[in-house]
A and B are shown apart, each in its own frame.
Chain A
Amino acid sequence: MSSKAVLSHLHRADGSATYSQNGYTIIGAVNGPVDVQRRDELPEEAAIEVNVRPAVGVGGPRERHLESLIQATLRHLILVRSYPRTLIQVTLQVRSLPEEESAGIGSVLTNSSLTLLPHLLNTAFLALLSASIPLSTTLTSAFVVITSSGKLLYSPSSTDILRAQSIRSIHVFAFSAQRSLLLSEGEGEFDVEEWEDACDLAEDRCCRNAGIAGENMDVDGEVMNLADFLRDVVKEKVVKEQKWKTAP
């Protein structure tokens, strides 16, 4: 799993981010707070509009479903009360999908909208960071797959899923920095115990460990904690912005 993020690379948007992981690349742009249309206006808080655009063609019910899930999650994250009667617009454009998914080989991958969701959420959050929208906490999101043999796979790449042959369920989790569960979506057959195991695994990888940072690194250093990744991205942003302070 190699995550990569670029912040503030679009000039015309207030905030933007490109996030890529496992063959998924998503561009996110945030504009806000801006004028809101009268019919969308909320008297006490900022309205949030999420647009998801697929890699090919125009969006359909699948995209609308993802939009509503993302909107509901972001609404609790953004301090909407500080900008009443305004609009915060989040646009997420899928730039590339893993080859297997766009070719339509893995039936689970193409049929489920959930595999895209964690990447969309992470991108949306990074774009919000870049736009300096006041937020109450951070968000990290990941998905866990349970195979028919009961094995848990954390954020498997599409080849991993194809190799695993049959999959029983897919779960998407999003966590705040305080380790509270912000979103949980599941698809397939599973029982409560399996769900709890999947949730624990995702929490472990999404949130910072109370112990030493970097403890979660696998032996080969491949798997990186998402919270640490987020901190690295922000550090890069701050260093870039404050270069003039240290420059000769």
Chain B
Amino acid sequence: MATAQTIVLPGDKISLSALPTSPNPNKPLTLGPGLRHIPPSTITTTIAGALVVDTRKNATWVEYNSGRYTPSPSDLVIATVHSSLTEAYNCTLTPHTPYATLPQLAFESATRKTRPILAPNSLVYARILSCTPYTAPELTCVDPSTGKAGGLGPLKGGMVFEISLGMARRLMLGGAKGSVVLLEALAEKVAFEVAVGRNGVLWVHGGEGAQGIKITLAVGRAVQEADEKCLGVKDQRKVVEKALKGL
């Protein structure tokens, strides 16, 4: 991204020339976060950030990295179980927001007799099934089409680290696109499990025992450092080297 970015402030009108033009006339324009369509044809911004245009997807959105997580459907999140009802668990995604409900049967191969028992404060890696401004978000741990977990479910052991929402998005984008080499570089030397929640939560499990805890802390802190300092690929490798030295 060497090109100059368009900085937008709330209320800026996006001119028609700045919008992506798709070669396919049937493909509608997609407006991402931070943009608002005022009929008939005015598009204004609602959030301060950098305007991003994707011509291939015929989409445009505002990129920003601050504020509170607002749930949106099909986001992968790490939820904390708060309490159990008869049919569902109450989970928290972010502090001081309404509880998200996770039905007790929304786990892989769960039946009325065999369903996972989650104690309060245990962690779940889940997908947001639905959420509207008027209802609490609903979570699920299975893929509705296949009925398989696909990596979702209760997270056992390990530890959570808070990261910024932008870092969570970068980690989910993967190595090349989000320019994070941190986890891959660490994984070459040590073994650990991670789960990234869109709600700004990173779960790391480095294994059992004293060495496992050391690995967990090293990985979590390395990601947090790269997040706080907004490190590029080169500086991330330095962080990895430093982290590995301590193990």
Contacts and interface: CB of A to CB of B under 8 A. Distances in A.
Interface string B173-187: 000000100000000
Task: Please indicate which of the listed interface residues A32, A133, A247, A248 has the most CB atoms of chain B within 10 Å of its own CB.
Answer: A247
Contact of B67 (A131, A238, A243): A131
Given A79-B46, A129-B10, A15 B67 contact: yes
Chain B interface secondary structure, helix, strand, loop or mixed? loop
B166 A135 contact: no
Interface string B151-173: 00000000000000010001000
A178 interface: yes
B46 A135 contact: yes
A138 to B, nearest CB: 5
B66 A248 contact: no
Interface string A13-44: 01100000000000000011111000000000
A130 interface: yes
A247 B9 contact: no
A85 B1 contact: no
A230 B9 contact: yes
Contact of B65 (A235, A241, A247): A241
B67 A132 contact: yes
B70 interface: yes
A245 interface: yes
B120 interface: no
Contacts, number: 122
Interface residues on B, range: 35 or more
A243 B234 CA distance: 13
B235 A234 contact: no
B10 A14 contact: no
Given A136-B10, A136-B46, A137-B10, A85 B231 contact: no
Interface string B137-149: 0000000000000
B47 interface: yes
B232 A248 contact: yes
B231 A247 contact: yes
B18 interface: no
Given A136-B11, A244-B230, 15 more contacts: A15-B67, A31-B96, A132-B49, A132-B66, A135-B10, A135-B47, A136-B46, A177-B10, A177-B11, A231-B9, A242-B1, A242-B50, A244-B231, A247-B230, A248-B232
